[in-house]
Structure 1
């Protein structure tokens, strides 16, 4: 959907020529979010702004859906690209409804259509149309204004969106909420988005692909998992931080690591039976007790099973926390640390045990990915400077 072909920007100053973006070549597939990441002054925002010609390129081309945008009227180009900035940029003298519908009006939509669209957008960003459409930006919180900024960018249903640190000015709690809501919208809308960020965690969470810039050059363009598992050079490693293996916990779902091979006992089983089944799973010191619906009901420890006689129903401890298939490993690790355990049961939507996830399996999964060290430059066009670097 978006193709940058040797896109370059040189700022001329009285003393020297400053290369802000140096022959950037990359492709962003339809329906994906590409995060532009890097330290301040690396060229990521300059690259973003050349796409809608807020900054005019010195050389190179931008293609959107295979169309060379250099021949397009600038106003037409911008009206077909949603744009969201950190400062939000709502017009203070316009109501929320007027802000959201400004581009549809410019595109000639009739009144009923753009008013209906405003309400649709309010539903999409989880804000009550009746309560907010007639208000002015000054009557909204910063987080609410940012949501309206996103709604305005989406109102005309553009195929492409550009976002320049859109959530950077919001407090961490609201930022996480808005990020989650935006990702839910993206699952439905499938827009093609280029998104500038300086936050590595945000890039990993939000991006289908991440482009890392340094001194105007594109250094690496990869999926988040490839970026973390196989950084291209020492700069990327340093930029990602020494905890990059832990950052990968956000990217891996329980479904990728879960094992269906989990032992269990019933309340009417003897402790002798429990001990035998614990021994069958030698790396665990306890076993799950399940009820008649195969839901977690408690835990029998090895120490109790070995030293006590009787039935499981009389000697169990509280059931451990459970995880679901679509949870990420960061949640799993947090629960394991908090509950001093090396395994957790996984349950389905009805709460029935469907498997288990162990610390050993998590470690093996993450470690095997690092050991494989795949070629991570496949997404960079072979004629780009980044590929040659």
Structure 2
């Protein structure tokens, strides 16, 4: 959907020519989010702004859905590209409804259509239309204004969106909420998005692909997992940080490594039987007790089974933590550390036990994929266009 072909920008300064973007060539497939990542002054924002011609390229071309935009009228180009910036840029003298619908009105939409579109978008960004549409930007919090900025960019249903550090000025809690809401929208809308960020964690969370820039050059263009497992050079490796292996925990879901081999007992089982079941698994010091609906009901510890006689229903502790199949390994690791355990029961959407996840399985999975990615580093799945 978006293709950059040797896109270059050279600024003339009193001290001479400065190359801000140096022959950038890359493709972003339809419906994907591409994060432009790198240190300040590396050329990522300049590259983004050349797409909608806020910055005029010195040379090179931009193609959108296969069409060369070089000869396209600038106003037409921009009205078909959603644009969101960190400073939001809402018009203070306009209501929220007027801000959201400004591009549809410029495009000649009829009143009923653009007003309905505004209400639809407000629901999509989790703001009540009746409570907010007639307000002015000054009456909203920073996080709410940022959501309105996203809604405005989506109002005319553009196929392409450009986002320049859109959540950078928001506090961490609201930022995470807005990121999650945006990803939910993206699952339904499937826009093609170029997104500038300086936050590695945000890039990993939001991006289908990540483009790392340095001094105006595109250094590496990869899927997040490929980037973390096989950085192209020492610059990328240092930029990602020494904990890049841990960052990969965000990319793997529990369902990818869950095993259905989990020992369980029922409340009516004896403690002697519970000890036998614990020994069957060897590496665990407790066993999960489930009810008649196969839902977690408690934990029976090895120490109790060795010193006490009786039934599990009389000698169990509360389940310290559980994990869902769609949770990521970062959450699983956090729960394990917090509760000093090496395993967690996994439950499905009905709360029924469907398996377990262990520290050992997490380590093996990440280690195996890390070695595999490194071995394929010379032939990456996603390569920079030459």
One fold, TM greater than 0.5? yes
Aligned length: 383
- How far apart are the structure 1 equivalents of 2:6 and 2:329? 39
Equivalent residue number for residue 168 of structure 1: 168
- How far apart are the structure 1 equivalents of 2:42 and 2:7? 14
Contact 2:99 2:152 (C-alpha < 8 Å) held by counterparts: yes
Equivalent residue number for residue 42 of structure 1: 42
Equivalent residue number for residue 145 of structure 1: 145
Instruction: Verify: 1:82 aligned to 2:82, yes or no.
Output: yes
Equivalent residue number for residue 223 of structure 2: 223
Alignment RMSD (CA, Å): 1.0
Instruction: Verify: 1:8 aligned to 2:8, yes or no.
Output: yes
Equivalent residue number for residue 386 of structure 1: none
- How far apart are the structure 1 equivalents of 2:381 and 2:269? 55
Instruction: Verify: 1:331 aligned to 2:334, yes or no.
Output: no
TM-score (norm 1): 0.97
1:71 counterpart SS class = coil
Equivalent residue number for residue 345 of structure 1: 345
What CA deviation, in whole Å up to 9, does each residue of 1:9-40 have, x standing for no partner? Answer: 01112321111001101000100000000000
Equivalent residue number for residue 67 of structure 2: 67
Equivalent residue number for residue 387 of structure 1: none
1:7 counterpart SS class = strand
What CA deviation, in whole Å up to 9, does each residue of 1:65-92 have, x standing for no partner? Answer: 0000001101000000000000001111
- How far apart are the structure 1 equivalents of 2:296 and 2:105? 57
1:148 counterpart SS class = helix
- How far apart are the structure 1 equivalents of 2:380 and 2:317? 50
Contact 1:267 1:289 (C-alpha < 8 Å) held by counterparts: yes
| Structure 2 counterparts to residues 60-209 of structure 1, below 5 A | 60-209=60-209
- Counterparts in 2 of 1:50 and 1:377: CA distance versus 1, 3 Å: farther
Equivalent residue number for residue 379 of structure 1: 382
1:195 counterpart SS class = strand
Contact 1:35 1:207 (C-alpha < 8 Å) held by counterparts: yes
| Structure 2 counterparts to residues 180-329 of structure 1, below 5 A | 180-329=180-329
What CA deviation, in whole Å up to 9, does each residue of 1:294-341 have, x standing for no partner? Answer: 111111112221222222112212223111100011111111111110
Contact 2:101 2:155 (C-alpha < 8 Å) held by counterparts: yes
Instruction: Verify: 1:17 aligned to 2:17, yes or no.
Output: yes
- How far apart are the structure 1 equivalents of 2:315 and 2:132? 57
- How far apart are the structure 2 equivalents of 1:188 and 1:248? 25
- The structural deviation recorded for 1:379 is 2.1
- The structural deviation recorded for 1:102 is 0.7
Equivalent residue number for residue 29 of structure 1: 29
Contact 2:220 2:384 (C-alpha < 8 Å) held by counterparts: no
- The structural deviation recorded for 1:267 is 1.2
- The structural deviation recorded for 1:378 is 3.5
- How far apart are the structure 1 equivalents of 2:385 and 2:197? 25
What CA deviation, in whole Å up to 9, does each residue of 1:45-80 have, x standing for no partner? Answer: 000000000000011100000000001101000000
- How far apart are the structure 2 equivalents of 1:204 and 1:227? 9
1:304 counterpart SS class = helix
Unaligned 5+ runs, structure 2 = none
Unaligned 5+ runs, structure 1 = 384-389
2:91 counterpart SS class = coil
- How far apart are the structure 1 equivalents of 2:384 and 2:143? 38
- How far apart are the structure 1 equivalents of 2:225 and 2:249? 10
- The structural deviation recorded for 1:133 is 1.1
1:258 counterpart SS class = coil
